[in-house]
Chains A and B, each alone.
Chain A
């Protein structure tokens, strides 16, 4: 399943780091962060609990870039 989220982040490199962090979250199959459109597309693994996974994604993103937001 794929979902798109709006995000807020200030720098392009941070967006790349967020993408990496999201990809490495359990339950996430693939992720693309689009810095220009400020959007994040997350592909979840089958049967993943989307809300729980997203909580983890936010936590992991905050580690690599404190000043970021994901709206969901």
Chain B
């Protein structure tokens, strides 16, 4: 609690106690003393309101809430309703106090959730380490990160190995290992090893600063509901005030003329009392504060789970999504190729893989990389006598070759270092290499055709790599983009979150695309698309879109900026550290788990539901109380509830938006 809040609390409690005491005291016989005594709690609670109201009048701010409260309470006092007068003031202040406390509390909560802002950096200069402001660290400096410290600035590890906790950035709790030459992102926490890092960005440009800026700015982009409420508030207060005025004058006049009631102080007093209850209800605080608070909570909660929503308006769009279009690679599939099958003839599976991996040793093609990875994994897992080193330097191999004086025959797996020489790439077809004296051809069916070798056709989908040794066909390896774990679950979750239409776009071959789609359960597949076609497809889908619903496009943020921009909502996945993706998308999933999409939709739905609940509840109760007040059924106590009670309930409801742990 701030000092201001504490002061107010003391004042409110004191005047509340005094008020209760005065109600209990038998003061009916001494009206003047009673009035003076009631003035004490009244002024204790409301002197600042009265002062502000006075300033408001001088500035001609008639619909200022202080002014309204002042008129309502002064009016009540003048009518002799001392208890009500004091109570309105006291409860109004309690409401203000609660509001300021709740808002401050959620501000702090969200800052804590987003506790990624580093306070210092350990700058290494001339062998000495100094603790400095991260703002002062230049690009290319060396910083030292001790275990337990937050990485202040993005950079590349130059020395040390450690595991990093990136949960504050991604919501992902599994730590990531980093070693020399790898990138570390600011905001992640170094868990065990000492790291020396060369910074690659300024502090302001680093991930942590960028994310914080994004989250803070998000609530500046106002949603339609917020704009509606702002407009509503602008009309509501004057409307209620004029109605109050009309009630005070026309009410008694109407009764006199139509009802034939004689003019009396009681009659006027009754109608003025009704008018005053109007003024108490006229304050729009409840809705005006609860809507941005809900959005703030929702945005903060989402970012604590690694989902950055770049504005309250996008939160709204996200909640309306009923069509999700995926760009296959990077969202449903990993975007890196994996060996999914080895169909071998005579030789062992491992041997076939080894031959292919060796032949493709120097190739940078993703398919070559996947062959090497698969072989390494198999070699490590299996009982093979040799591990690693195949991808090593060829010269070492040649030296050994000479020492061995030729070409040893026999099973490859019994040798420690196989020899690869005379690697010849056949462009667009494959590689032919000499491995331990045997001519090994690795490539597609066209390569086999060229060499006059009959290749066995394969029924699997994916890229087929055929292997032939010395002109004999040995089998083939099937390589496919690997489907992300959780992809199927993610799509099921999306469907149960109310997303009806799921579409997959890809540049891949139809057969491959359909196989992937079938596995994860998407029926609408549009394959063999060029990047430009993707925009066209999304446009087609946008035309089919029902109004009031939204289409989201999910991409990996690489090369799909135009589509991200064209869709109602662009979602980039696995965007941690990719500025371009963060720039282009409306919603950014920091990790690459596809289940995050459904989670984001659920968070948005919850947030928007709370917003609507608050709008309907607050406006509903206020209108009902206004009606009852006009009819003379509601007294000032009900008016206090309509003002303060509704506000407290709306704020409490709004805070729920922050709770997204189970979504």
Contact = CB atoms under 8 A, between A and B. Distances in A.
A10 to B, nearest CB: 6
Contact of A67 (B52, B222, B295): B52
B59 A11 contact: no
A1 interface: no
B111 to A, nearest CB: 10
B66 to A, nearest CB: 9
A12 B220 contact: no
Contacts of A41: 220
A37 B285 contact: no
Nearest to A67: B52
A41 B311 CA distance: 15
B233 interface: yes
A39 interface: yes
Interface string A7-26: 00011110010000000000
B382 to A, nearest CB: 56
Contact of B285 (A13, A36, A63): A13
Nearest to A10: B100
A63 B219 contact: no
Interface string B215-242: 0110110100000001001000000000
B293 interface: yes
Nearest to A13: B288
B52 A16 contact: no
Question: Counting chain B CB atoms within 10 Å of each CB, which of A11, A32, A41 scores highest?
Answer: A11
Could you say which interface size class chain A belongs to? 10 to 19
Contact of A11 (B99, B216, B230, B295): B99
B96 A10 contact: yes
Contacts of B107: 36-38
A35 B219 CA distance: 9
A61 B216 CA distance: 22
Could you say which interface size class chain B belongs to? 20 to 34
Question: Counting chain B CB atoms within 10 Å of each CB, which of A32, A34, A36, A38 scores highest?
Answer: A36
A39 B219 CA distance: 10
Nearest to A19: B230
Interface in A38-70: 38-39, 41, 63-67
B220 A64 contact: no
Nearest to B233: A13
Given A10-B96, A13-B233, A16-B230, A39 B285 contact: no
B296 A36 contact: yes
B518 interface: no
Interface of B is mostly: helix
Contacts of A67: 52
Nearest to B283: A13
A64 B64 CA distance: 8
Contacts of A34: 216-217, 219-220
Nearest to A63: B59
A63 B61 contact: yes
B284 interface: yes
Interface string B93-109: 00010011001001100
B291 to A, nearest CB: 8
Interface in B271-308: 283-285, 288-289, 292-293, 295-296
A37 B556 CA distance: 30
A13 B283 CA distance: 9
Nearest to B296: A36
B415 interface: no
B65 interface: yes
A13 B103 contact: no
B292 A35 contact: yes
Contacts of B293: 12, 36
B55 interface: yes
A60 B296 CA distance: 27
A40 B233 CA distance: 20
A60 to B, nearest CB: 10
Nearest to B99: A11
A55 to B, nearest CB: 17
A66 B99 CA distance: 19
Contact of B61 (A32, A38, A64): A64
Question: Counting chain A CB atoms within 10 Å of each CB, which of B99, B292, B293 scores highest?
Answer: B292
A71 to B, nearest CB: 15
B220 A11 contact: no
A20 to B, nearest CB: 8
Contact of B103 (A16, A32, A36, A64): A36
A54 B485 CA distance: 54
Given A32-B222, A39-B220, A41-B220, A12 B292 contact: yes
Contact of A12 (B59, B64, B217, B289): B289
Contact of A39 (B65, B216, B233, B295): B216
A32 B220 contact: yes
Contact of A36 (B64, B65, B99, B292): B292
A35 B291 CA distance: 11
A64 B59 contact: yes
A65 B188 CA distance: 41
Contacts of A38: 107
A37 B293 CA distance: 10
Nearest to B106: A36
Given A36-B103, A66-B52, A67-B52, A12 B285 contact: yes
A11 B289 contact: yes
Contacts of A39: 216, 220
8 contacts: A11-B65, A12-B289, A16-B230, A35-B289, A38-B107, A41-B220, A64-B59, A67-B52
Interface of A: 10-13, 16, 32, 34-39, 41, 63-67
Given A37-B296, A38-B107, A63-B59, 4 more contacts: A11-B65, A34-B220, A63-B61, A66-B56
